[in-house]
Amino acid sequence: MLQRKLAVAAAFVLGAVAVVGAQQTKGLLFPEFTPEKSSFDKPFGKLGEKPAQPWSVTTVAAAVDGKPLPGKITTVSGEVVDYSCYLQVGKHGEKHRDCGQKCLKNGQPMGILTKEGTLYLLMEEEHNPRRDGMTTLRDACIEQMARVMEVTGTLSEVDGQRAIFVQGYLKK
C-alpha cells in the first residue's frame, strides 16, 4: 500500500514538473537577447526568392513517385539563429552572433526565430544542388546571424517539425 501511495505521489510530482517545464518553454526564450542591427518590426534584409511553384524541378524529381510532401509558399520575419544552440541552451541575439556563426560554419543547422518564439529550420530548397554542396544559403545565414531577416520559401510541416525551404542560393 505504501509503495502504491509513493508511486502515485511521484507520478503527481513528475506531472506537475512537466506542466511547469512546458509552460516555461513557450514563446521567445530569453527575450532580452536582442537581434543585431535590426528588429522584428524592421528586418535587416531578405533571404530567398518567391518561387513560382512550391517545389523545384529537382525536388519533384527526387520525391517518391514524383510527389513531394505538401508545401506552402510563405514569408516570415525572424532572427537568423543556430538551431542547435537555441534548442539546447536558448541562445540567440547579438551576444550569441560569434558562437552562432562558428556553429553554422561547422555544419550545425540554420534556423529562423520569430518574435512569437516559433522556430523554423532553414534549408536550401533545390534538392540535388543541396545534396551536392552547390548552394550558398549557409554562407548567407552565417553573414546574417543574429539579424532579423524576411525569409521567403516553401513551408513544410511534418509531425510538429517546421522547415522553410529557400530558393535562390545556387552556386554560379
Distance set, CA 82 to CA 13, 16, 21, 56, 89 (Å): 34, 31, 22, 26, 11
Q: Which domain holds residue 31?
A: 27-166
Question: Does a structural domain hold residue 44?
Answer: yes
Within a domain: 56:
yes
What average pLDDT score do residues 39-48 get? 96
In a domain, 6, yes or no: no
Query: Is the per-residue pLDDT at 154 higher than 60?
Result: yes
Using pLDDT thresholds of 50, 70 and 90, give the confidence band for residue 79.
very high
In a domain, 54, yes or no: yes
82 found inside a domain: yes
Q: Measured between alpha carbons, how far is residue 138 from residues 41, 52, 105, 111, 127 in Å? A: 24, 23, 8, 10, 15
Could you tell me if residue 157 is inside a domain?
Answer: yes
Q: pTM value?
A: 0.84
71 domain-assigned: yes
Total structural domains in the chain? 1
Domain assignment of residue 141, yes or no: yes
Mean pLDDT of 43-52: 96
- pLDDT of amino acid 142: 98
